[in-house]
Structure 1
Amino acid sequence: MTTFKLVLEYDGTQYAGWQRQPNAPTIQAAVEEALAAIAQTRLTIIGAGRTDAGVHAFGQVASFRTDRGLSQREWLRALNAHLPADISALSVKAVPDHFHARYSANGKLYEYHLMNRSERAPLLRERAWMLYKPLDFAAMTEAAAYLTGSHDFSSFETAPTDNENPQCRLQRADLRRQGDLIILSFYADRFLKQMVRSMVGTLVEVGQGKRTAADMRTVLAARARAAAGRTAPAHGLYLVRVDYTDGSIPSLP
């Protein structure tokens, strides 16, 4: 048996998230169906994270085991011949058997895209959260800095969840502009359920003048979801990369 690491890019618009569900299309199901068509037997994949319905990925990672004797290149070509047009396999690599897409990960990079202008952007309607009134970019940047470090992020975790450890080490929380597009980047050793979307929703309230940047300290200290802002829409979120290296902080794009 060989263990393979699979890197995927996908548009999550038409899917009910990553995890297989009985009555809805999911990314996991689509990839497993493609693998089954190639291997002529059912293969189960393990994902690095369970992205929500509508969330996109530039670099989702999954692992699977098989005794089918195809090379890495053959797996890659066959997968992309069987996957739907909104999912692409970027790489397939043989890895040691102890590799686990979820538990071997030591860092993840997410981006959230905000389109901030007075007119709607039809080409980004499923790719970014549209906000029509000007946001205070400087205040949002200042507020994001309060989030970095090791904290209890319970205020940004949505329920229900079976997670018992709310501690995360957020190493980067950066904002940058590309014209009218504001891109928020978050890098951490782990993330809680909908944590990024909850942080974004709270930062947007700072940008709208509903909170001050320093209020982020109070939100963190509260350790209660009600203390934070709304959960940002899923369609602006992208899983950019999952790291399995020595844990050093990568430079953000």
Structure 2
Amino acid sequence: MTQRYFIQLSYKGTNYHGWQVQPNAITVQEVLNKALSTIMNQEVNVVGCGRTDTGVHASDFMAHFDLNEARDVEAEKLVFRLNRFLPYDIAVKSMFPVHSEAHTRFDALARTYQYFITKDKNPFRSESHWNMTHQLDVAKMNEAAKLLFNYEDFTSFSKLHTDSKTNICKIYKAEWEDRGDELVFTVSADRFLRNMVRAIVGTLIEVGRGKLDLAGFCQVIESQNRSNAGTSVPGHGLFLCAIEYPKGLKKEI
């Protein structure tokens, strides 16, 4: 008999080649699998709510896994032991039992990402912000961001040759905030394509620099051609920061 658990964690992506296990490269999923398998003395394979690329961070990430002999598991103690076992750049926030069919990826209703840009060179932000020295028209970038709500096919912002069956997404929020010494772009959607946020940010920066007007931004989206969009911004400024789920997934045992 097995019991499924959701585990909430955060990680700094600097030292990892993304979330998903891959040959000849260290990933967050691999490290978490090893920690859980060692502590529980059984093979454990976690399934993430999505995939983050090399260097991308997560301030809020969800994964699920199945354990045998679930009644012997105390979630709080396991969280404590995991945090003692895991490296400094991965932290487990919580863990709770869910119904057997619950899935952190397929049950997610929405995800929110943030991209951070520092206006000045700052050694303390070098791994969490992209240093952008060009003057940007933030108001114009926000005008362009609002245009995203008019579209559902975001092929122009998708990495080529992925296993995604559809490029249809529903964006709920997209806005820039000028915090003085930094710019923060927040975007929420029901799902995201590979590389989508970084491509959107790169294209919006083209608008902010005056290289692309609002009509041109719409043309980029409508072309459904990745080569027409802006260059993807570096991964180290990107954070997955929230995932929303329907009520009723949690199970009392």
| Shared fold (TM-score, shorter chain, > 0.5) | yes
Q: Where does the alignment leave 5 or more consecutive residues of structure 2 unmatched?
A: 248-253
Match of 2:251 in 1: none
What is the number of equivalent residue pairs in this alignment?
244
Residue 212 (structure 1) shift: 1.2
Match of 1:189 in 2: 190
Match of 1:204 in 2: 205
Distance 1:228 1:190, change over 3 A: same
1:65-214 matches, within 5 Å, as 65-68=66-69, 69-117=72-120, 120-214=121-215
Which deviates more, 194-203 or 96-105? 96-105
Q: Where does the alignment leave 5 or more consecutive residues of structure 1 unmatched?
A: 247-253
1:242-253 matches, within 5 Å, as 242-245=243-246
Distance 1:198 1:33, change over 3 A: same
Identity across aligned pairs (percent)?
Answer: 37
What letter matches 1:194 in structure 2? N
> SS state of the match for residue 161, structure 1?
coil
1:207-246 matches, within 5 Å, as 207-245=208-246
What letter matches 2:102 in structure 1? F
What letter matches 1:155 in structure 2? S
Does residue 31 in structure 1 map to residue 28 in structure 2? no
TM-score by length of 1: 0.94
Give, in whole Å, the separation in 2 of the partners of 1:114 and 1:30: 29
Give, in whole Å, the separation in 2 of the partners of 1:32 and 1:149: 40
What is the root-mean-square deviation in Å for CA atoms of aligned residues?
1.1
What letter matches 2:122 in structure 1? A
> SS state of the match for residue 146, structure 1?
helix
Residue 185 (structure 1) shift: 0.5
Give, in whole Å, the separation in 1 of the partners of 2:151 and 2:208: 24
> SS state of the match for residue 204, structure 2?
helix
Give, in whole Å, the separation in 2 of the partners of 1:221 and 1:165: 16
Residue 70 (structure 1) shift: 1.4
Residue 114 (structure 1) shift: 1.0
Which structure carries more helix by proportion? Answer: 2
TM-score by length of 2: 0.94
